[in-house]
Structure 1
Amino acid sequence: MAERLKPEDRAAGLQELPNWHLVPGREAISRSFKFKDFQEAFAFMTHVAFAAEKMNHHPEWSNVYRTVDIVLATHDVGGLSQLDMELARKIDVISGGFN
């Protein structure tokens, strides 16, 4: 089972993920992605969905036209875990294939 990150581990993890930010009022991280159009945004979401399913760790997200907003938190631990940091890194790699 995942464990909640200690504040110093959370800070270290975020240093490795400069485009991700803490969500105000909650222990979660978020990032917004913009693509050239809806089709590209949806393709990105499909790739992320496969990665998340393999990890059995699923994002909170929304999509409006070419923008995808993602929030990561581990609900079982009531905050951030190493799973969130790992999925954020995978999402960053996936997004690089669309730029």
Structure 2
Amino acid sequence: MEIDKMEFSFWMKRIMQRFDILSDHLNLNIRERMVLDDEELLDNQDILHTLKISPRTLQRYRSSGELKYFTISGKLYYKLSDVRNFIHASSNKTRPS
């Protein structure tokens, strides 16, 4: 199977355009991160993905006060430092004394 040079160039150019589009989307997502008082804010999806927990488990952590949160325009957010503290506290609970 032979591919002529023109066809190869066409497809390579098209692939590179797709990479540029993906790169633009990634950069846009990075810039869209919410920040409050120079601290990154995470939303529910970020927490669910990071901790690999169910939405119900996350709700339980909020209700029990184990994980601090606040709302902005009806959407829940978590400070990155609070999430780190929660992870640290949770890991200390599971260690045998």
Which protein has the bigger helix share? 2
In the superposition, the TM-score normalised over structure 1's length comes to 0.36
In the superposition, the TM-score normalised over structure 2's length comes to 0.37
Q: Which has the higher contact order (CA 8 A, sep 6+)?
A: 1
Which structure has the greater CA radius of gyration? Answer: 2
